[in-house]
Chain A
Amino acid sequence: MEEIKKCMRQAKTILSQNVGVMDVSGLIIAATDPALEGTVDSSVRAVMLSDDAFSGTAGRTFMKIAIGEQIKYIIYIDGVEPEVRVYLELLAEWIKSAIKERGTDAERELFTKNVLLENELPGDIPLKARGFKIDYTVPRFVMVIRTAREDGNEALEALQNFYSDSKVADVMAMDEKTMIVVMNADVENQDEYIDNASHAVLDCLNSESITAFVGVGSVVPYFQNISKSYRDAMQSLKIGSVFEKKQYVTRYDKLGLGRIIYQLPPTLCQMFIDEVFPNGAYETLDEDTLTTIWSFFANNLNGSETSRELFVHRNTLVYRLDKVQKNTGLNLRSFEDAVLFKIGSMVGTYLEYTESGKKDNLMR
C-alpha cells in the first residue's frame, strides 16, 4: 500500500488532475488529494461490471489494474479527454512495477535472513546476491536491536524509515522484539562510524520513547560472512546484559573481561568462586559494602577520593575494607587481591546469570 501512496505523492507533482487508486470494493487507498483517502467511490460497481479496461462516469475515467490474472485495483483520473487514458496507462505500469519491486524487496529480505541464519548454501550466496543487486564484497556489520515486545512494530517502522536506503543498510525484524540492521561499513574510519551508527540507532528509538539495547557484531569482508557478524552481535547483547548493565550499546570488539568469562564452563566458574570466596564469603557482603568496594576500585584504590565520593569518614572506609578482608581474606588495598576480587565478582555474576535462567532476557 505504501508504494502506491508513494506513486500518488509523486504523481501529484507531475499531473494537474486529481488521480487516485481504489480497491475492488471502491475504497480509495491512495490519492493525490489525501482528503479522499478512506472514502468510497460508488461508481466502482459499474466499473467492475464493464468488460472494457477503461470506463468513464461523471467526469472521471477509470482503469482496472490486474496483478497476475486478478483485478486488484482501479485507478481513476478526473477528466474524460482522450489523453487521460494515456496518463492512466502510464500510472498503471508505474504502480505495477512498484508492486513488483516490493515483491523483490520481500524476497531480498528473506534471502538476507537466510544468510544471517546460515540457511543458504555457501556456494549459492554470491550468485543469489548478484541477482538481488547486493554488492557481495562490501564490508558490513550487523546490529541486533532488542526492544520490549509491545514496542516492536513501532521500532521496526522507525528503523526502516531511518535507514530507507538499502545501499546503506538493510533493516528487518527477526521476531516481534528483535530487529536486525545489516550495515555497510565501506568507510575509512570504521571504528568511529560503527560507534556513531549504533548510537544513532539508539537515539532514533529513544526519541520515539522506545527503550532499546543494541548489540554490534564485528565487521566482515563479504556478504556471506554476515552470519558471523550476526552471531557476534547476539553474543555482545548477551554479554552486555550480564556484565555491562549500564551500557545500551555493546560492541563485540569491546567486550573486555566479560568475553573471556562468558566462555568459561559453569563448573570451572564454581571452582574459582569456591577458591576466591570460600564458604560463600561474597554473599556476606551487604549492599553498602559492595558500593564501597566499586567506588574504591573506580577511584584506583585511593582511600581519600573514595571516602570523599561516598561522604564517609576515612576511618569508616578503613573499617569497611577491614571487614571485607575479614570476611573474604582479600585485602583490597593490594592490587593483586583487588584484581582477584573484581574477577571473582564477575564470575559470580555470570554464575548467577546461568543459574537464574535469564538467558533469553536481553533487556536487562
Chain B
Amino acid sequence: MASLSFQHVYKKYDGGVVAVSDFNLEIADKEFVILVGPSGCGKSTTLRMLAGLEDISEGEIYIEDRLINDVLPKDRDIAMVFQNYALYPHMTVRENMAFSLKLRKMPKEEIARRVNEAAKILEIEHLLDRKPKALSGGQRQRVALGRAIVRDPKVFLMDEPLSNLDAKLRVQMRVEITKLHHRLKTTFIYVTHDQTEAMTMGTRIVVMKDGFIQQVDSPTELYDNPVNTFVAGFIGMPPMNFINATINVNGSDVYVSFENINVKLPERYAVAEVMERDGQEVIFGVRPEAITDEATFVSDHSEAAFSADVDVVEMLGAETYLYVTVNGALPLTCRVDPTTSQSRVGEQVDLAIDTNRIHLFDKDTEQSIIS
C-alpha cells in the first residue's frame, strides 16, 4: 500500500523528442488510477518510468516519501502485468507463481505461503498443479496476476493487460480486476487505450495526448465536463458530435447557430465568456444521448428542435443509434430509446437537443469555454 507522487516528470530523448512532458500527479494510497490515451501519447512510457524500466529525464517520482528515480526496478516494490501473459510453459501454475520469488532467493516456506495465499485470492487453488497450456485465456491472465500478487508489492502496474483477450472475456476480467483491487486494497495504476476500460474500472482517470496530461478526473466528471475537444471526443462511445457553430446574442438570450438552425441556450450560458463571443465561431459539442426523437420532448423544446434525414439505424437492444444528416451536409449521431423511436432509414425525423447537456469549445484552442 502506497501513495505516489510524480513531480514535473519528463521523458526526453536525444535530439529533442519528448515522450512525456511535465507530468504532475498525486496518487493516494489504494487508488485505482487509469492512464488512457491514443497510441504514442506517453502512457506506457510513464508507467515504465515508474517501474524503473525507463530512465527519468527530469523530475522526481516518489513512492510514499521515498524518491525512487535511481532505485533499481527490482527494489521499487512494484509488480507489473503486461499484455503477454509471459508464463513459463513447462512449469505448473504453482511454479510459475513462485518463479520470481525463487529468483530473489526467498525461503521455500515463505514462497509456498505467498503462492497459496495469492491462489486463494484469485480462486485458482484448483489450478495450481496444471500447466499453462491446460488453462483458458482468462485463467492464464489470472495466473499472470498471481505472479504479481505473490511479490506483495506496494503498487500494481498493468500495461494493457486485457488486450489479448476476446471481447467477452475482457468484460469478465475487467470485473475481476476491479474486485481484486477491492480485495487487495493496494494502489493500482492501469494503462489502456480503451476508454470503456478506463471509464468502468478507474476511480480516477488521467487522459493523455502527445505526452501531456489533458485532464485528471473521475469518470463522471470527465464525461460530463471535458476540458477540451480531445477529452470530449475520446471519452464516450459513440463519440460526441462536434458542430461548427456561431454564437448569436440577442439581448440576454444566447443562441448557437448552425445549418440555418438556431438553438437557444439555457440561462446559465448568458455569461461574459459566452456573450463576448457574439458573432464568433465556436465548436458546439453534443453527446449522442443529448439528441432525442421522442415526440413529447421535441414538441416541448421547439427552441432546440430541427429535422434531419435518417441514413442508418443501428438497433442494439437496450438502445438505438440513429446516424442522420442535417440539411444534407451535417452528419450527427443520436442515441434514442428503441421502445419509443419510430425512425426509419430514408425518412425524415424530428429531433431536439437537450440544451442542459451541451458543450461549447473555443474554435482555436479547442478548450471548453465554460469550465
- B88→A199 contact, CB < 8 A: no
Chain B residues closer than 8 Å to A290, beta-carbon distance? 15-16
Chain B residues positioned under 8 Å from A17 (CB to CB): none
CA of A290 to CA of B12 in the docked complex: distance in angstroms?
11
Whether the Cβ atoms of B17 and A246 lie closer than 8 Å is yes
Q: Point out the residues of chain A lying under 8 angstroms from B73, CB to CB.
A: 209-211
What is the chain A residue whose CB lies nearest that of B11?
A246
When the two chains form their complex, are residues A203 and B15 in contact, meaning their CB atoms are under 8 A apart? no
- Is there contact, CB below 8 Å, between B91 and A161? yes
From the candidates A162, A204, A293, A311, name the one contacting B16 in the complex (CB within 8 A).
Answer: A293
Q: Determine whether the beta carbon of A200 is less than 8 Å from that of B86.
A: yes
Please tell me if the beta carbons of B366 and A308 are within 8 angstroms of each other in the complex: yes
In whole Å, how far is A101's beta carbon from the nearest beta carbon of chain B?
Answer: 15
**What are 18 inter-chain pairs, A to B, with CB distance below 8 A?**
A158-B103, A162-B86, A196-B84, A203-B82, A203-B83, A203-B86, A204-B84, A207-B80, A207-B86, A209-B51, A209-B78, A211-B53, A289-B16, A290-B15, A291-B16, A308-B366, A314-B364, A345-B15
- Given A161-B90, A164-B88, A200-B86, A206–B53 Cβ distance below 8 Å? yes
What residue in chain B is nearest A349 (Cβ atoms)?
B15
**Closest chain A CB from B8 CB (angstroms):** 15
For B46-83 the 0/1 string (1 means CB < 8 A from A) is 00000111100000000000000000111010101111
Chain B nearest Cβ from A262, distance in angstroms: 16
Q: Contact at A208–B16, with CB atoms within 8 Å?
A: no
B365 at the A interface (CB under 8 A): yes
List residues of chain B with CB within 8 A of the CB of A207.
Answer: 80-82, 86, 100, 144, 147-148
Instruction: State whether the Cβ of A225 lies closer than 8 Å to any Cβ in chain B.
Output: no
With a cutoff of 8 Å between Cβ atoms, the chain B residues found around residue A295 in the complex are 210
Nearest chain A CB to B24 CB, angstrom units: 14
Would you call A199 and B84 a contact (CB within 8 A)?
yes
Asked if B180 is an interface residue, CB under 8 A from chain A, the answer is no
B131 to chain A, nearest CB (A): 11
B108: interface (CB < 8 Å): yes
In the bound complex, CA of A209 to CA of B13 (Å): 22
**Interface check B353, CB cutoff 8 A:** no
Asked if A209 contacts B90 (CB within 8 A), the reply is no
Which of B15, B209, B210, B365 has the largest number of chain A CB atoms within 10 A? Answer: B15
A149 CB to closest chain B CB (Å) equals 12
Q: Is the CB of A245 within 8 A of B13?
A: yes
Known A207-B100, A209-B51, A209-B80; 13 more pairs at CB < 8 Å: A158-B99, A161-B90, A162-B89, A164-B90, A165-B89, A208-B100, A208-B103, A209-B74, A246-B13, A246-B17, A289-B16, A311-B212, A314-B364
A151 vs B59: C-alpha distance when bound (angstroms):
26
Task: Judge if A154 is at the interface, Cβ distance under 8 Å.
Answer: yes
In the assembled complex, which residues on chain B have CB atoms less than 8 Å from the CB atom of A245?
13-14, 17
Chain B residue at minimal CB-CB distance from A299 = B210
Q: What mask results when residues 323 to 364 of chain A are scored 1 for a CB within 8 Å of chain B, else 0?
A: 000000000000000000000010001001000000000000
Q: Is the CB of A161 within 8 A of B99?
A: yes
Q: Does A34 reach chain B (CB closer than 8 Å)?
A: yes
Residues facing B in A167-218 (CB within 8 A) are 196, 199-200, 203-204, 206-211
Chain A residues with Cβ under 8 A from B210's Cβ?
Answer: 295, 298, 309
| Per-residue contact bits, chain B 1-38, to A (CB 8 Å; 1 contact, 0 not) | 00000000000111111110000000000000000000
A294-B80 in contact (CB<8A): no
Residue A135 CB within 8 A of the other chain: no
Set of chain A residues within 8 Å of B91, measured between Cβ atoms: 161
Question: How many residues does chain B have at the interface if contact means C-beta atoms less than 8 Å apart?
Answer: 41
A interface, how many residues as a size bin? 35 or more
Report the minimal beta-carbon distance from B149 to chain A, rounded to whole angstroms.
13
A294 close to B16 (CB less than 8 A): yes
Whether the pair A206, B80 counts as a contact (CB closer than 8 A) is yes
**Interface of A (DSSP majority class):** helix
Contact with B along A123-163 (1 / 0, CB 8 A): 00000000000000000000000000000001001100110
User: Are B103 and A154 touching (Cβ within 8 A)?
Assistant: yes
Question: Which single residue of chain B is at the shortest CB-CB distance from A207?
Answer: B86
Q: Name the B residues within 8 Å of A283 (CB-CB).
A: none
Please report which residues of chain A, range 278-297, place their CB below 8 angstroms from some CB of chain B when the two chains form the complex: 285, 287, 289-291, 293-295
* Nearest CB of A to B343, in Å: 36
The CA-CA distance from A285 to B86 in the complex, in Å, is: 44
A102 CA / B73 CA spacing, docked (Å) = 33
Q: With A200-B86, A203-B86 known to touch, is A308 a contact of B365 (CB < 8 Å)? A: yes
- Expressed in whole angstroms, the Cα–Cα distance for A212 and B210 within the complex equals 25
| B100 / chain A contacts, CB cutoff of 8 Å | 207-208
Shortest CB distance B128–A (Å): 15
Chain B's nearest CB lies how many Å from the CB of A100?
20
A243 CB to closest chain B CB (Å) equals 10
One digit per residue, 1 when the CB lies within 8 angstroms of any chain B CB and 0 when it does not, for chain A 230-263 equals 0000000000000001100000000000000000
Q: How far is the CA of A290 from the CA of B81 in the complex (A)?
A: 35
CA distance A285 to B16 in the complex (A): 10
Nearest chain B CB to A23's CB is how many angstroms away?
20
Complex CA distance for A298 and B91, rounded to whole angstroms: 45
Which residues does chain B contribute within 8 Å of A162, judged by CB atoms?
A: 86, 88-89
Residue of A whose beta carbon sits closest to that of B112: A34
Minimum Cβ distance to chain B for residue A309 (Å):
5
Is the CB–CB distance between A291 and B80 below 8 Å?
no
Q: 9 closest pairs, A vs B, by CB?
A: A290-B16, A209-B73, A203-B82, A203-B84, A204-B86, A164-B90, A209-B74, A161-B88, A245-B13
Nearest CB on A from B211, distance (A)? 9
Q: Which residue of A lies closest to B22 (CB)?
A: A311
Q: In the complex the two chains form, what is the Cα distance from A251 to B116 in whole Å?
A: 40
B91 → A minimal CB distance (Å):
7
- Cα A338 to Cα B12 in complex, Å, equals 22
CB neighbours (8 Å) of A293 from chain B are 16
| Nearest chain B CB to A135 CB, angstrom units | 20
Q: Are A246 and B90 in contact (CB under 8 A)?
A: no
Interface residues of B in 111-143 (CB under 8 A from A): none
Q: How far is the CB of A245 from chain B (nearest CB, A)?
A: 5
Contacts of B84 in A (CB 8 A): 196, 199-200, 203-204
0/1 interface trace, chain B 249-287, chain A, CB 8 Å (1 if under): 000000000000000000000000000000000000000
Q: Is the CB of B80 within 8 A of A246?
A: no
Q: Give B79 Cβ to nearest chain A Cβ, in Å.
A: 8
A54 to B37, CA, bound (A): 70
Residues of B within 8 A of A165 (CB): 89-90
Closest chain A residue to B229, Cβ basis: A308
